[in-house]
Structure 1
Amino acid sequence: MRVLLTGGSGFIGSHIAILLLERGFDVVILDSFVNSSPNVIIRIKKYLDNKDLNYKLETINGDIRDKKILDKIFIDCIKENKPINTVIHLAGLKSVYESLSNPLHYWDVNVFGTLNLLLTMKEYECYSLVFSSSATIYGLSDSVPMAEDHTISPINPYGKTKVAIENMFYDLYNSNLNSWKICSLRYFNPVGAHPSGLIGEDPIGIPNNLFPFITQVAIGTQKLLNIYGDDWGTRDGTGIRDYIHIIDLAEGHLASIDYFNSTESCLEFINLGSGKGYSVFQIIRQFELSTGRKIPFSIQDRRDGDVAKSFADISKAKKLLGWTPKRSLEQICLDGWNWQIKNPHGYG
């Protein structure tokens, strides 16, 4: 099979690419490199070459909003007599805070880009799609664990674009029940890194998320960790979130492709998380225990838009995909720290 992987040089995409290539899939990565580095592709190839794997990986620098580029990809693959069978669609903008200041750009890239991709897939009769959605769509509720039938109520433009795309899938699928196979995977918080230390998370500027901030504090890039509130109604007063190892998350995408092979058509919305809730203090303690590095922190006021608890009900993923996360919080800390110390300046 040949897979088109949009956004394949990003944090999540690069880990999915390795697993696909290890499994013997041909992979075409389409990426604009707006939020990622071309060095990621070099690292992927280095890892696979070291394992002496025979693989086929093609990388194209382009934007999913460019119909000409998408047409060329599908046509060239057809000419090679190896058409695109499945699309894993990760390309898009993902900063909650940036979406608040520039919402139209988010609607353009995320929603129009996905529409453009779907139109192209339909034109070339490629009807299998795995999409990167987000737990952000569940909004401010702290009713946990969150199942897929939880109230959809996003509070920012980023989350709203994900809901709009899922609604698009719903309308598309119901217009032709016999053709489309779609899994929209609602991510919680992917963290950690590939155990090789060759690829990992490399946020641009100051990290917005907890785990990369912790590793940067540990290595000295940031002075201390800000904790937003220690008076939440939780066991230790800090917010509780669901953190899933990036390899476990990536494996969920391959499980989705395997599921496609067992069904004639489908439209499924599926949570991918650890199914567990960890507080900020728990994460800090486990990181310090696993790595021997002290994490200085400062307690700040709560932020608007935060909730006390958010973690996934993953029973649907287990039942439907036969998927379950395997890696512990300790492994997350060890792999994330291994990436950080081997790449103190990221891919730069």
Structure 2
Amino acid sequence: MNQVRMAEKILVTGGAGYIGSHCVLELVEAGYIPVVIDNFHNAIRGGDALPESLQRVQEIVGKKILFQELDILDEAALRELFQKHHFSAVMHFAGLKAVGESVQKPLEYYKVNLTGTIRLLETMKAHGVRDIVFSSSATVYGDPAYLPLDENHPVGGCTNPYGKSKYFIEEMIRDLCKAEKDWNAILLRYFNPIGAHESGRIGEDPQGIPNNLMPYVAQVAVGRREYLSVFGDDYKTADGTGVRDYIHVVDLAKGHIAALKKLKENCGCKIYNLGTGCGYSVLQMIRAMEKASGREIKYKITARREGDIAACYADPALAEQELGWKAAFGLDKMCEDLWRWQVQNPTGFSNN
């Protein structure tokens, strides 16, 4: 019987976002059927009742994307969704994600991220769905005791409620897998995703002032902002500015496809870093973006930002060993793709 495998339906929560939308695209390319939910907290509406990001994913892949506007805090709506579709696994991206805002609004962050995840897990359990890929973060490592960071580095010393919420969810899922042996979970600790799909049609579209370095740098390059503030040049790094592990968002998305395949092995609970293993400083990133854009990027050195650490980069060896995944794109490609997205969409997904 060489019957074609029935295409598996994968629930993607928060799938209209930056990483989610790139994963939806890779899912379709890999032969899965993504069913996407999002509450439009961060997403821009497009036509067809779809988020603009997914409207564009549809154009790129030439296939219709199944989407429903839904908040994971809405138990009844979640239940209905699971009754309607038979999911083979869940990719969980939904949640609030601004570090600074989490310090100001801790309760809101805990409510959305923790309660939302509990409702999702309960609904999965009630409908016999036992496989999940969770988007965690390198923030769970806190201030690094050593570098590069491997998966055995202590976690939980987080400096903000956003990081703590990711850590708590990791613990929750680990406990669940320990108690109920039929669950499989892969916790992916992202480092710093940047870049965009090479079509230039989808990318990162921060609402308001960008919290992350590279969207801000790109907005300065395109003339949307006057200059970049570099928070501190007195760190113990080669040039005094903060060092991070930047990874192309398409590489990151492909890591999720590799994780889905791993779930099929009944792997229990596994944790993997998704990074390149290379650390670049803020000034190196500015230079790389100047090269990609052919523009000068003005910056000013200002005081350190509270809670920032000097350096953070991954040991990505485990993901390569166990998932057969490795980041393929280097810094130049990340910046070229980011620049293409920025030039083609100077105001992001909204066309005003």
User: Is 1:164 the equivalent of 2:147?
Assistant: no
Distance 2:270 2:150 in 1: 13
Distance 1:282 1:101 in 2: 31
Residue type of the alignment partner of 2:66: E
User: Is 1:35 the equivalent of 2:42?
Assistant: yes
Name the TM-score, length of structure 2 as normaliser.
0.94
| TM superposition shift of 1:258 | 1.2
Secondary structure, counterpart of 1:126 in structure 2: coil
Query: Is the 1:26–1:56 contact (alpha carbons within 8 Å) kept by the matching residues of 2?
Result: no
| TM superposition shift of 1:142 | 5.8
Name the residue aligned to 1:173: 177
Distance 2:40 2:332 in 1: 31
Residue type of the alignment partner of 1:66: D
Query: Is the 1:187–1:272 contact (alpha carbons within 8 Å) kept by the matching residues of 2?
Result: yes
Query: Is the 1:21–1:56 contact (alpha carbons within 8 Å) kept by the matching residues of 2?
Result: no
Distance 1:159 1:207 in 2: 18
1:131-146 equivalence runs, <5 A: 131-141=134-144, 143-146=146-149
Name the residue aligned to 1:62: 70
| TM superposition shift of 1:230 | 1.4
Query: Is the 1:277–1:310 contact (alpha carbons within 8 Å) kept by the matching residues of 2?
Result: yes
Query: Is the 1:140–1:305 contact (alpha carbons within 8 Å) kept by the matching residues of 2?
Result: no
Secondary structure, counterpart of 1:119 in structure 2: helix
CA distances 1:136-186 after superposition (whole Å, capped 9, x unpaired): 111123621111111211111111111111111111111112x11100101
2:199 to 196, 199, 204: 196
1:12 to 16, 19, 22: 19
Query: Is the 2:58–2:64 contact (alpha carbons within 8 Å) kept by the matching residues of 1?
Result: no
Name the residue aligned to 2:47: none
User: Is 1:299 the equivalent of 2:301?
Assistant: yes
Name the residue aligned to 2:89: 86
Name the residue aligned to 2:60: 47
Query: Is the 1:27–1:56 contact (alpha carbons within 8 Å) kept by the matching residues of 2?
Result: no
Query: Is the 2:277–2:313 contact (alpha carbons within 8 Å) kept by the matching residues of 1?
Result: yes
Distance 1:113 1:319 in 2: 32
Residue segments in structure 2 that go unaligned for 5+ positions in a row: 1-7, 45-50
| TM superposition shift of 1:202 | 0.3
Query: Is the 1:142–1:308 contact (alpha carbons within 8 Å) kept by the matching residues of 2?
Result: no
Name the residue aligned to 2:159: 155
Secondary structure, counterpart of 2:336 in structure 1: helix
Residue type of the alignment partner of 1:28: V
| TM superposition shift of 1:319 | 0.8
Name the TM-score, length of structure 1 as normaliser.
0.95
| TM superposition shift of 1:300 | 0.7
Query: Is the 2:274–2:314 contact (alpha carbons within 8 Å) kept by the matching residues of 1?
Result: yes
Secondary structure, counterpart of 1:222 in structure 2: coil
Distance 2:28 2:183 in 1: 24
Name the residue aligned to 2:3: none
| TM superposition shift of 1:56 | 5.0
Distance 1:289 1:347 in 2: 25
Query: Is the 2:96–2:109 contact (alpha carbons within 8 Å) kept by the matching residues of 1?
Result: yes
Q: Percent of pairs identical after alignment?
A: 45
Name which of structure 1's ranges 226-235 and 193-202 shifts more when overlaid on structure 2. Answer: 226-235
Distance 1:167 1:127 in 2: 17
Query: Structure 1 residues 189, 142: CA separation in 2 closer, same or farther (over 3 Å shift)?
Result: farther
In the alignment of these two chains, the number of paired residues is: 336
Superposition RMSD in Å:
1.0
| TM superposition shift of 1:311 | 0.5
Residue type of the alignment partner of 2:208: G
Name which of structure 1's ranges 60-69 and 331-340 shifts more when overlaid on structure 2. Answer: 60-69
1:86-105 equivalence runs, <5 A: 86-105=89-108
Name the residue aligned to 2:246: 243
Name the residue aligned to 2:48: none
CA distances 1:34-70 after superposition (whole Å, capped 9, x unpaired): 0112111211111122xxxxx4521000101111111
| TM superposition shift of 1:275 | 1.0
Distance 1:122 1:199 in 2: 33
Query: Structure 1 residues 274, 192: CA separation in 2 closer, same or farther (over 3 Å shift)?
Result: same
